[in-house]
Each structure stands twice: as structure tokens, then as C-alpha cells.
Amino acid sequence: MKKNIIITFFLCAFSLNGLFAQETFKMMFYNLLNFPLQSIPPNRIQYLETILSNYQPDIFMVCELNNESASNGILNMMQQSINTNYAGANFVLNTSDDNFGNQNDLQNMLYYDSSKFILESQTVITTIYRDFNHYRLKLNTTQQGTNPIYIDAIVCHLKASSGSENEVLRLQMINDLENYLDTLSANSNVILAGDFNMYTSSETGFVELANPSNNITFTDPANRLGSWHTNATFIDVFTQSTRTATGLGGATGGFDDRFDFILTSENMISNTDLYYVNNSYKVFGNNNNPSCFNQEINSTNCDGSDFSFSIRNALYNFSDHLPVTIELQTNQTLGINDYAFQQPIEFINGNMINSILSLKIQPEFISNQTLYVYDSIGKLIKTINTKNSIYINEDLSMLANGLYYIVLPQLNVKPLKFVISH
């Protein structure tokens, strides 16, 4: 009798857990400052690794990415250092053009945790100046067949600089976006993330985004509307500039502008399937310290309990912008299997390598496997075929001293780290 009671208790507990399960997703948008063509300071990706390792976004959206090689490098770094489940959308070049110069060095991109999301489609939205990029993601839930939940993530980089001409260009870009949004369902869960380059919420382009007559009406989840430019009362949502010194690229002048945003469609504030987590809108690296006004983000004037000096210093060195973050939540359960997985490869003589990399492959994994060796900045250095052998001895004497990673993209396992020391 007691046994039946215990079983019943656990069955009820399991049911209640499923009934009230909540899954939270972290989203980040970041202006990468002309990455990697802006080459000062050197090896900038190390600072991005510090930033992303700290926040670990489920969806990472970017602008000012220069080329496909850099996009692959970021993805490799994320897979090796943070989570092997990261995947990237298809990299596409900007197709919009303008009369002010070639915009093809500045691309948008999206990365995501493929255990939580499925990339359903991506679309280029052309405008008068630069593309918007639309990425449709489906949540990987246990109910995705009967009750699918989608996120329509749109990434943008509006025309920079003050003045009426630039405001008109930004408005024209937004009008092009609104024409596209008219083709979506009015109930769509839309995220608009980007560098807006706007100085006030009264700018016509921002007013248009919030127009209640639109098919998709956007709202500022931070609820911090007003005139942001050089207005210290908005320091909690400032994103630029992280610097006052010249020589690092981008803008200087210190911390005094709100240029970067993540807006949500209005329905996501009250949606029951997928919704914005109240008070989750944050500027990553911003301690909301009044003394930080017009200062460099890594200065003592910007100290605070939320973001350490090491994080703020990485942000200072990587970009003139700070990232913005939000959290979303669903009541559905993710379809993720949690189980122990035996590491398919292991070092025979430890992970400190002089010249010969010696590995043992577990028998169940030897069939037609390819190992990929990357350096610490995400560059592919070497491929190794297992050739159905249990033991691998690979000469790496030609490689420089440093940290390297072994990646098995065919298997969902964490990369192995090793160090070459001749």
C-alpha cells in the first residue's frame, strides 16, 4: 500500500512539473564594429569569447560582420568554447545599395542553440540603404508538431549620423521593413534587433515602428522612451561609446548614447506561448553607474556589482558598442534529451603535446570519422581521418606552441583541448 502511494506521488509530481514547466531563452544583439577588418587591438575574437562565455546567449544576433570567414570563425569559437550545439544561419552578403558607397562590408548574422531552436527559413529584406535579415526560428518543443511556436528575428543596422537627411533615410528603411511585415501574420512573435542610430524616440522612424495601425507594432520592452542623446537620466540603457581614446576604431566620446535595441512585437508582452520576461531587458556591461556618463566603460567610474572589470575591459577592447539582451519564456517543454554520453576520443599521453598527438578512438565511433583541429581563434588548422583505426598518431610538429581544439562535428560532444609545447 505504501509503495503504491509513493508511486502515485511521484507520478503526480512529474505531471505537475510538466504542467508548469517554463523554459527561458537568452537573446543578445551586438554591433561587432567592422569585424574583423578593424584589426586593432589584435586578436579581437578573444574578447568576444570572454563576453559570450559569460552570457551564453541562446540566440546571438550581430551587425557589422565583414565576411563569411569571420562568421565561421565566430561560430567555431562558440562551439569550441561555449556550447557544441551552436549553429549559424546561412551567411549572405548585403544586397541593398546606396549612393553613398559600398555597404557590402557590413553584414548581419544570427547564431543559435540548435538543441533549442530549428532554423525554418531566412529572408533578405532589401531597403534603400542596407538589408534587414529575417530569420524564422521554431522552438524545439515536445509539442512542435501540434502547437509549433515560432520566433521571427529581424536584424538590422540603420543609417548612422544625425541630421534630417539621415533621419529620412532611416525612415525609408523602416517603411521598407513595414511593407515586408505586412506579409506576416499579425500574431507573429517578432523581434527587431539592431543598431538603430537614433537619438530620440520622437524620431519619425521610431514613431513608425510603434504605430498601432501597423500589422506588427513594436514596443520597447525596457520602457525607456525619450531623448537619449547625452541625457544622463537614460544611462541605464546607454550602449555607446565604450571609449574616449582614439586609435581603436569606431566612435569615441564616452558613454552617452542609446543606439542599440531589441524591440518585441506588442503581443509578446502578454503572449501565453512565448513572452518577454519582465525586467529582463539589460545592456550587457552597463552597471547603471551615474559616474560612467561620458566615461570609458572599463574605467573605475563605471564600476558596479553586475559587470566586473574583466568583462567591461573585454567589451572596451572589442567594440565601441555594448550588447543588449532580453529573455523570453515559454510554458512548453523543450524536446531535449539529457543523457550521459561517453567521450568518443581520449588522449593516450595527456593533452600536453610536443610533436605527436596520440589519441584512442572508442570502437563504436571509429567508422569514417573526421577530426578537425582548430587554433585558439577558430581557424581550421588540420583534418584527421580516423581510417577505422582505434589508435591515431598524428605529427603536429609543424604547429606553433599554443592552445588547440579537436572537434567532431558529426557527434554532439564537447571539443577536446590540447596544448602544443615544443
| Per-residue model confidence as pLDDT tens digits over 112-155 | 999 999 999 999 999 999 999 999 999 998 888 889 999 999 99
Maximum Cα interatomic distance, the chain, rounded to a whole number of Å: 81
- The topology under which CATH files domain 345-420 is Immunoglobulin-like (2.60.40)
pLDDT given for residue 2 in this prediction: 44
Return the CATH class of domain 23-330. Answer: alpha beta
Nearest alpha-carbon partner for 391 in 358, 417, 365: 358
First to last CA, the chain: 68
269-273, 336-340, 408-412: which range is least confident on average? 336-340
Domain boundaries, given as residue ranges, for the chain? 23-330, 345-420
User: Given a cut of 80, is residue 271 above it in pLDDT?
Assistant: yes
Q: pTM for the full model?
A: 0.77
Q: If you search the block for the grid coordinates 588522449, which residue do you land on?
A: 347
- pLDDT band with cut points at 50, 70 and 90 for residue 369: confident
Lowest-confidence region among 19-23, 35-39, 277-281? 19-23
Inform me whether the pLDDT recorded for 238 exceeds 90: yes
Higher pLDDT, 340 or 351: 351
pLDDT for the residue numbered 339: 38
What is the pLDDT at residue 326?
Answer: 98
Q: Does residue 27 surpass a pLDDT of 80?
A: yes
At residue 412, does pLDDT exceed 90?
Answer: no
- What is the Cα–Cα distance from 357 to 351, expressed in whole angstroms? 8
What is the pLDDT, as a whole number, of residue 11? 41
Q: Is the peptide bond before 227 cis (omega within 30 degrees of 0)?
A: no
Tell me the backbone φ, ψ of residue 103, rounded to 5 degrees: -95, 5
| Phi then psi dihedrals of residue 134, to 5 deg | -105, 125
